[in-house]
Amino acid sequence: MCEGSGVRSNRWMKIITDLSKISKGLYPDLVIGLGNFDGLHLAHQTILALIRERAKRLGGVSAVFTFREHPQRVLHTRENRPILTSVVHKLYLLKQSGIDLCFLAEFTVPFSRKSPEDFIVDVFVRQLGAKEICLGFNSRFGHERRGDSALMRRLAEKHHFTFVEGPPVRVGDRVVSSSKIRSCVKAGKLDEASKLLGRSYSFLGTVVPGSGRGERLGFPTANLDPASEVLPPQGVYAAWIRIWDCRLVESESGISSLEGSVTGKFLKAIMNYGRRPTFGKDSKAIPEVYILDYHEDLSQRTVEVIVGKRLREERTFRDERALKEQIKTDIESGQKWLAQQS
């Protein structure tokens, strides 16, 4: 059976969505990590643990500074690069990690032109008054990603804050990174991706209207909009579903919160991700899930799909009857595999 986050919950994590409302000294002894934190993988978890430990030692506040949109998606709009965790997914994982505070900034093209020095001095030193800044060992920041650990050390000495560099984290002979995990997911190496993540690979999707073909065949499915999260190769998979009711609730005060809950119950499901070629091929590959032994309406709700075994590739069938028979076989195969994981 797949696991949850495996880390303690911090119900009261504050999310700062308007940095203009924050002044120096509001959060004394601030220990803050800078990064995209896409995936909240094992290396990120190591940095978060370091932040929590150092903040506890100071009697201060543990925090991260991250962005609503991955910078590469803003700077390279034509490529529409997939990410591991959409903003709500990332905020939920941060909340579960026990961090006190998240600065969730807007990343814009004008913002990207800030030099590394100006970014750190203007935001972290003058505005936030950071006591300590943490950075991953290979992280980059500022205009053209020119900022690195060497520059951060010089800035720390000049502006009197402590710089802490997170160590590289390895699983076997591989250094954990978001780019490696994305490559593993795209290649269908989901077990390897899960090891690097430190939890089962999953993606979020909002249930959207479909064509109704699944219901006509006797297997009603929920079509998902996956919020640009990276997906595995097209095909049919055994999976688990978890229903989310989390949402980011923003406030005019600039201090926002992640409200709602995530059910602890995992529902068994079969997922088809593809273009449904039996019906003439959709222009875009779509994930759709048939949830076993569950009949409630999920319209417009968000679900987490924990992807398990790939049962087969997507293929074209001669007619709906042949497809229906194959779906029955897929369900039997999926149920057998899912039962073995309990």
- Res 10 pLDDT > 70: no
Average pLDDT, the chain: 88
Q: Which residue has the higher pLDDT, 153 or 4?
A: 153
pLDDT bucket at 216, cuts 50 / 70 / 90:
low
Q: Model pTM?
A: 0.89
* pLDDT number for residue 157: 97
From start to end of 101-254, where are the E strands? 101-105, 132-136, 162-166, 170-171, 174-175, 202-208, 222-225, 235-244, 247-249
- Residue 204: other Cβ atoms inside 10 A: 21
* pLDDT number for residue 317: 81
Dist. CA 246–CA 232, nearest whole Å: 24
Q: Which helix (H) or strand (E) holds 289?
A: strand 286-291
Dist. CA 330–CA 315, nearest whole Å: 13
* pLDDT number for residue 275: 83
CA 8 to chain centre: 17
Tell me the HSE value of 320 on the side-chain side, using a 13 A CA sphere: 8
The two beta strands, 61-67 and 101-105, are parallel
Dist. CA 45–CA 36, nearest whole Å: 13
Q: Give the pLDDT mean for 209-231.
A: 78
Note every long-range contact of 280-287, with CB atoms under 8 Å and residues 24 or more positions apart, other chains counting: 285/231, 285/234, 286/210, 286/223, 286/224, 287/203, 287/205, 287/223, 287/224, 287/226, 287/231
Dist. CA 222–CA 293, nearest whole Å: 14
Dist. CA 8–CA 5, nearest whole Å: 8
Query: Burial of 3 by CB count in 10 Å (0-12 exposed, 13-18 middle, 19+ buried)?
Result: exposed
As a whole-number percent, the residues of the chain with pLDDT over 70 amount to 89
Q: What is the pLDDT of residues 94-140, one digit of tens each?
A: 999 999 999 999 888 888 889 999 999 999 999 999 999 999 988 99
* pLDDT number for residue 282: 58
* pLDDT number for residue 235: 95
> Where do the domains of the chain lie?
14-171, 200-340
Q: How many residues does the chain have?
A: 342
The b/e string for 69-95 (b: 16+ C-beta within 10 A; e otherwise) is: bbbebbeeeeeeebbbbbbbbbbbbbb
Phi, psi of 163 (to 5 degrees): -105, 130
The b/e string for 125-134 (b: 16+ C-beta within 10 A; e otherwise) is: bebbbbbbbb
- Res 9 pLDDT > 90: no
- Res 60 pLDDT > 90: yes
3-class secondary structure per residue, 68-116:
CCCHHHHHCCCCCCCECCCHHHHHHHHHHHCCCEEEEECCCHHHHCCCH
Q: Which of 69-73, 273-277, 320-324 has the lowest mean pLDDT?
A: 69-73
Dist. CA 177–CA 44, nearest whole Å: 9
pLDDT bucket at 3, cuts 50 / 70 / 90:
very low
Return the closest-CA partner of residue 196 out of 4, 86, 7, 46.
46
Q: In DSSP terms, which residues pair with 83 in a beta bridge? A: 229
pLDDT bucket at 213, cuts 50 / 70 / 90:
low
Dist. CA 75–CA 290, nearest whole Å: 37
- Res 4 pLDDT > 70: no
- Res 231 pLDDT > 80: yes
| Within this chain, domains 14-171 and 200-340 share the same CATH topology | no
Q: What is the pLDDT of residues 28-54, one digit of tens each?
A: 999 999 999 999 999 999 999 999 999
The CATH H-level superfamily of 14-171 is: HUPs (3.40.50.620)
* pLDDT number for residue 319: 80
Phi, psi of 329 (to 5 degrees): -65, -40
The CATH H-level superfamily of 200-340 is: Riboflavin kinase-like (2.40.30.30)
